Each structure stands twice: as structure tokens, then as C-alpha cells.
Structure 1
Amino acid sequence: MIRRCSTSLAALLALALPAAAPMPVWAQAYQCRAPAIRSVPAIAPDGPRREMPVTGYTLALSWSPEFCRFREGQRAHRFQCSRDNGLFGLVVHGLWPEGPRGRWPQWCATPAKPTPAELAAQMCVMPSARLAARQWAKHGACMAKRPATYYRVTRILLSGLRLPDYDRISREDGLTAGRIRGAFAEANRGWSSAAVGVKLDEGGWLEEIRLCYDRGFRPKRCDARRFGAKDDAPARIWRGL
């Protein structure tokens, strides 16, 4: 059996800001109002259960304008893509535990399920109740005992980051994947470009930034799978216009 609540995870929670502290300044925070969640979406595994020791983590940040590019009228993505809550920028796709030799745990056995209130508390950083429920079931259950712990850790990690102005950077000539990851490293002390993955789609549009951590939640060089596009790969960033 794996030990789901590691010492490093507990230490990260212990360093969290008090509940009364102001929320960090995200581009969408001043407009986002978490909706009432009445029920928890049912999530079915889409792959095998894999339980193994956790050797590190990946915080995946999705570029919301690209995600919403062809989804603005879809009811399932209304909260994120309708613009009623402002225009989201980088949002949490998930926090993923990593395992030995390029493998990763998933769909770990757990009786715990998130409550509607726990999902609602996550909506302004992970703006989909179904996504939040799925990320707990597939990934979070392999690193924490309770959904609330998993969700809180994602918010703590995000609150400790400075997110570059990718809207401005998108207007630069000759934009590359290296510039995208370099801008993040420059904005965040202790981070190097080697610890920042960049996922581009087939057309070179930014889809996701993947931040690589060791077991102690310190920046760590990404492996090839998480590093993604090479530095010289041409890149584009959709601004949601």
C-alpha cells in the first residue's frame, strides 16, 4: 500500500496562509464568483488502477482561452467559457503525482468523495465541477486521504506563483516555446526553464504549462514527457478575441 499523506504534503499544508488571508491576484479572481454546486458528478475510471510510491508532482495549468476557443456556446463549459465570470487565463487542470521510472499512480482505491461545497471552493482555480471531481478520483486519491486536502494543496501551489502576462507575450514576434517557459522562470524565483513544461497543439498553439516538482514540492527538471515542446519550437497564444 502507498502512503497517501506524505510528510512533504503535510509540511506544505502547515505553511499555508491563514484562512483569513487575502486570495492571490489571478487575472480572473476579481470577477469570478463560485457557483452553488448541488451534486457531485459521477466519475468512472478510464484506465487501470496503479498504486506506487510518489516520487514527485506535476501541476498542470491549462491556458483557458485556447480551451474555450471552440467551446464558448457549450453548456457543459458555460462557467469557464461564457465570460460571465470574466476571461480566465491559466487555470488548474490538475495536480498529478509522479512515480518511479516515468510511471505514475492513478485511480487509487479510496472511499472518499468530494462534497458539493469542496467542489465549489475549487471553481475559481479549476472552473469545472466535473474536472475537479475527476482529478481527485484519478490523481488526488493517490496522494491524499481527503479531497479537501488535495484541492487545498493545488490552491496553495497556485497562490505561490507569479503568472506572466501571456496576453502581452502573445503579441511578440517570433514567439517560441522557450520564450513561454522562460517568461515563467523569470517571474518566479527558484524556477529554471528546465522545470517548466510547455504543451503545444499540432498548430503550435499553447494548450498547457506543466510545472515539475520533487517530493518536497521544490522545482525539479522535467522529464521529456512533461517538458513537451523544445525551446526552438514556434508557438502561438490565443487571446480569446
Structure 2
Amino acid sequence: MVVERLLEFSLNVVKKYLRVASDEGEFTSFRGDMWKQILSVASTSLKEASDAVILQNQGGRKQREFDYFVLALQWPGTICKGTRHCCSSNACCNRSGGFAEFTIHGLWPDYNDGTWPSCCTGKEFDEKEIHTLLEPMKKYWSSLSCSSPKTCHGAKGSFWAHEVTKHGTCSSPVARDEYGYFLTTLNVYFKYNVTKVLNEAGYVPSNTEKYPLGGIISAVENAFHATPLLVCSKGAVEELRLCFYKDFKPRDCVPTDSQNEIVSSKISCPKYVSLPSYEPGGKIFEFTDSNWQYPNA
């Protein structure tokens, strides 16, 4: 219904311009500015119609503006340990020298009630729009899997396409477009350098050491004056999440009230956790992409 109304509105506007042109004796030779107005209306209506399709898939209602951001960081040492297959998109297989830092999973707009908006427009991912950011993104926002996650349009796409269509499109008015979303995320990642904070506190990658969960949380709290959220897998840190107000001042990710402990880091992490190191050269993989080769091979 929304799409039909938009198209009907567009058609009525075009008819209006046709009537005006006819009255002015210019039916067969529109002025240039009149054509520009008609094309502008048509373009805007088509974009709104495309956005409306996505909104209809979300239940037919426009989603309200988000309340805060979550910067989700992934620990490659934990995720890559489970790698069994390789492909050209999986950095677990082709990262020279391995990983020594958290990498970016995504920047997620969230609501205070625990829910979140997603797929807020019909905009599709276009890698050409971020060509100047590709070097840092390949290093600090790399995919750690061969899977192709679904985008908001139903098709499968890249890791970056999934993040920007699902989360980036809901980041307005802070990040208004694809380039702004990725640039903003990189800037926040570098400004709040979790890896540096933990290293300086003595928490370094190791396949033998176990670290107190409370110590890791305290190190981040002391540096950024806000409580992070940790997600673990088999006793190893898998993700660390920082939360921010819309102006990117840190805020607690979880309530400090003990009654809300169920949503704290303790629910998925033991008292002592590991930060496993990882180097791809130490594993034997089955390659799923016949065109993939080791770098410089």
C-alpha cells in the first residue's frame, strides 16, 4: 500500500507539470529546469518506494531513531581456532603474521529496551564508495569466515555488505551514508584502542595463560570509564563490546544493578578466560575456493 501511494503521488506530480507545460504552450518543448524537476520527483519517489519495500518487510512501520551505539570487537585468536575451510575472503587463512589485536565486527545502533533497528533503508552496499578506506578495513575489519551472510535484500553478500545494510542504514543522523558509517566506525575503533589498554595491563595473547575476567573488565573501565560486555566461547574471549552515546562518549553496556546480572559478561564467560594467539601457518586447511592462493604464491 505504501509503495502504491508513492507511485501514485509521483504520477500526479508529473501530470501536474504536463498540464502547466500545456497551458504555457510548451507541451512539446519543456524548459530544461522543468525536466529537471520531473526527473528529481521521479528519482525521489523510486528511492522512497524501494525504502518502503524494506520497511514493509520489517512489519510495515518506520523504525524509530536508535538510543546508543555498540562497537562490537572480535578476538581472531578465538574465532580462527575453529577454522576448517579456507577461501579468499577468510582472513584467518591469509593474514600474514597472524593477529595480535581485536578486529571490528560492527557498529550497531541499539535501543535501551534491549532491541535494535535493522534494515532501515533500501540502500545497497557499493564498495566503490569506500575505496579510500579499503586498506585499513582489510586489516582491521576483515571477515573471519567463508560464509556469505544475508543482506537486507534477501541475497547473500560480503561481511561489509551485511553490516552496512543491516546496521549502517539505521545509524542516521550520526552516520548518514555508507562512507560515513565505515569511517566513523574506524575512527571510534582507533580512538578507543582496547588491545592497547589490555596489553598495558598485562593481558596479552597467549595459548597457556588464563586471565581473571574481572581484571579485564576493570582495565577497560579504568581506561574509558564505562563497563564493557564480553562474550566467550569455551572459556576464551570471542567478543568485547563497547557502548557509546550518540556523541561517542562511553557509557555502560550493561546496568550496574545486580538484579540485571543476567545480561552481564558473567553469563557467557567463566571467572578466568583466555586470549588465544593464532597464526595461520600452524594449521592445515581444506580449501573451498579453487581460485584461492596463498599471498605471493
> What value does the CA root-mean-square deviation take over the aligned residues?
3.1
- The CA distance in 2 between the partners of 1:85 and 1:227, in whole Å, is 35
Distance 1:65 1:48 in 2: 35
AA in 2 matched with 1:65: G
Return 5+ residue gaps in structure 1 as ranges.
1-43
Say if 2:69 and 2:107, in contact at 8 Å, map to a contact too: yes
- Partner Cα separation in structure 1 for residue 127 and residue 204 of structure 2: 38
Give the superposition deviation at 1:168.
2.5
Contact 1:105 1:142 in 2 (8 A): yes
Q: 1:140 is matched with which residue?
A: 168
Looking at structure 1, the residues matched to 177 and 228 of structure 2 have their Cα atoms a distance apart, in angstroms, of 28
Residue equivalent to 1:126: 141
Map 1:59-138 onto structure 2 (within 5 A).
59-71=71-83, 73-75=85-87, 77-78=89-90, 80-88=91-99, 89-116=101-128, 118=130, 120-121=134-135, 122-128=137-143, 130-138=158-166
Matched, 1:161 2:192: yes
- Structure 1 or 2: larger helix share? 2
- Across the two proteins, how many residue pairs are aligned to each other? 191
1:145-224 alignment to 2 at 5 Å?
A: 145-162=176-193, 163=195, 164-165=198-199, 168=204, 170=206, 175-186=211-222, 188=223, 191-192=224-225, 194-201=226-233, 203-223=234-254
CA distance in 1, matches of 2:105, 2:163: 8
Normalising by structure 1, report the TM-score: 0.67
Provide, for residues 206-229 of structure 1, a one-character-per-residue CA deviation record: whole Å limited to 9, x for no partner: 100000111221111112676423
Q: Distance in 1 between matches of 2:118 and 2:183?
A: 19
For 2:276, what is the secondary structure of its paired residue? coil
SS of alignment partner, residue 106 of structure 1: coil
Larger Rg: 2
Question: Matched residues in 2 for 1:77 and 1:91: separation?
Answer: 15
Deviation at 1:131, TM superposition (A): 1.5
Q: Which moved more, 1:115-124 or 1:132-141?
A: 115-124
Deviations 1:9-43 (A, max 9, x none): xxxxxxxxxxxxxxxxxxxxxxxxxxxxxxxxxxx
